[in-house]
A and B are shown apart, each in its own frame.
Chain A
Amino acid sequence: MKYVTEYRDAALVRGVVEEIRRTVTRPWVVMEICGGQTHSIVRYGLDQLLPPEIELVHGPGCPVCVTPLELIDKALAIASMPNVIFCSYGDMLRVPGSGRDLFSVKASGGQVRVVYSPLDAVEIARQNPDKQVVFFAIGFETTAPPNVMSVLKARSLGLTNYSILVSHVRVPPAMHAILGSPSNRVQGFLLAGHVCTVMGYHEYPSLAEKYKVPMAVTGFEPLDMAQGILQTVRMLEQGRIEVENAYARLVTFEGNQPAQNSIHEVFEDCDRTWRGIGVIPMSGWRLRPEFAAFDAEKRFDVGTIQTKESPLCIAGQILQGMKKPHDCPAFGKECTPEHPLGATMVSAEGACAAYYRYGR
């Protein structure tokens, strides 16, 4: 496949890793923000190829992992209601709420459907005018343009039975929180390539300057990752604080303007709770008041929700780069992908799932 195969060329990757080895003179801690990149690193064994001076720590960029427990419990309550068809990206179905997950709601008769795209949920709403169709709109900046387009399309079709349960978060405020923490160890960042495809990278130079941390926009294939790490290590070794683009075939400084326009038409900034981390001010998006008719939290009364998190799970510390999955006493014992205690063991972007699957 063009633009895939050539970025998995083992000889090229080894060549770039060798250049990293020749560049590095002392230990550096580099964080990849995106959980998709965590899986890429572990899947292709980049963590084992890199020189021992480079420590990769895994960031909070797993949307499934950081969706707050309270919203998952709300999703479970709404999905259990009669007359509701609850649509979600597949990853969310096994995420543990306070006691159960969407799969168990489905197993006990709830109408829970996995969709590939939010537009599929709009189509389900059109075909089922007598049902309430709810889409679980989670994610970072990458899923925001699709999720808001579903609302715009539902509005243009005049649908009154479609709503979204919003749990949207943003990367830059999370980086503020990590870099501003007294226990921060991160010295360089690999920026999430597809978030930057949408948003560009104009938000990052001020962040890099404030915390004196260089960053490289990085893609997802092993060669992209090696290139992003090389550029970050070069900046660290040379003492340069800059934001470089190591994913130029898809990312521009400004990003995708039509996508940003649609996001800002439908969403506004708000505080968000990140599961395992806590509230990060102005770190997410919610529907603007003029789109309240499409807000599932306003449409459905789910009463008071009492959340209950597993006392064993250390996902919050893993998501902030303070601990690695195998530092958790429950890893691979009480907590496995079949019986996850926390979302990081569930998701295709969760660090614990990556370590479990690829035998770290």
Chain B
Amino acid sequence: MCLGVPGKITEIYEQDGLQMARVDFGGVVRDTCMAYIPEAKVGDYCIVHVGFALNLVSEQEAKETMDLLQQIADIESELGPGAPA
């Protein structure tokens, strides 16, 4: 139930006074409540949980983490599994 899915915001609109968005999850598009991230813009990625966007994905943090993990993995492939620490 705490699984969230990242999707791309394709349209922002209002319904019954609530900010909503159309969010694209790799081809599946769903109406999503944006009340908790009012700063979201079209093109942003957000994590969606039971029809609610709970946060934006930080592209910069994602890139920094990925670079770091890539370095760790590269070191391992150079040393090979089981190399002494």
Binding site for B on A (CB under 8 A): 1-4, 6, 11-12, 14-16, 18-19, 21-23, 34-36, 61-64, 89, 91, 116-120, 138-140, 142-143, 145-146, 149, 153, 156-157, 192, 194-195, 197-198, 220, 223, 227, 230, 246, 248-251, 256, 258-259, 262, 347-349
Residues of B contacting A: mostly: mixed
Binding site for A on B (CB under 8 A): 1-6, 8, 16-18, 25-26, 33, 35-38, 45, 47, 49-52, 54-55, 57-59, 61-62, 64-66, 69-70, 72-77, 81-83, 85
Bound-complex Cα distance A22 to B83 (A): 8
CA distance A4 to B65 in the complex (A): 14
B85–A23 CB distance below 8 A: yes
Once the chains are docked, how many angstroms separate the CA of A63 from the CA of B3? 12
Q: Is the CB of B74 within 8 A of A15?
A: yes
B57 touches A250 (CB 8 A): yes
- Bound-state CA distance A143–B2 (Å) is 7
Among A116, A153, A230, A258, the residue within 8 A (CB) of B38 is A258
Are A146 and B72 interface neighbours, CB within 8 A?
Answer: no
Tell whether, in the assembled complex, residue A248 and residue B65 are in contact, meaning their CB atoms are under 8 Å apart.
yes
Contacting residues, chain B, for A120 (C-beta < 8 A): 51
* Contact status A61-B2, CB under 8 Å: yes
A120 and chain B: residue at smallest CB distance: B51
A185 to B82, CA, bound (A): 29
Neighbouring A residues of B49 by C-beta, 8 Å: 142-143, 146, 194
Instruction: Determine whether the beta carbon of B73 is less than 8 Å from that of A256.
Output: no
Q: Evaluate contact between B33 and A117: CB separation under 8 angstroms.
A: yes
CB B25 to nearest CB in A, in angstroms, measures: 7
| A249 in contact with B85 (CB, 8 Å) | no
Q: Which residues of A contact B75 (CB under 8 A)?
A: 15, 19
CA distance A15 to B81 in the complex (A): 9
B26 and A1: CB pair below 8 A? yes
B81 touches A18 (CB 8 A): yes
A118 CA to B47 CA, complexed, in Å: 17
Q: When the two chains form their complex, are residues B85 and A36 in contact, meaning their CB atoms are under 8 A apart?
A: no
Starting from the known contacts A1-B26, A153-B16, 6 additional A-B residue pairs (CB-CB under 8 Å) come to A22-B85, A146-B49, A197-B54, A246-B65, A251-B55, A258-B36
Which 7 pairs of residues, A with B, have the shortest CB-CB distance? A15-B73, A117-B51, A249-B62, A1-B26, A248-B61, A3-B6, A18-B76
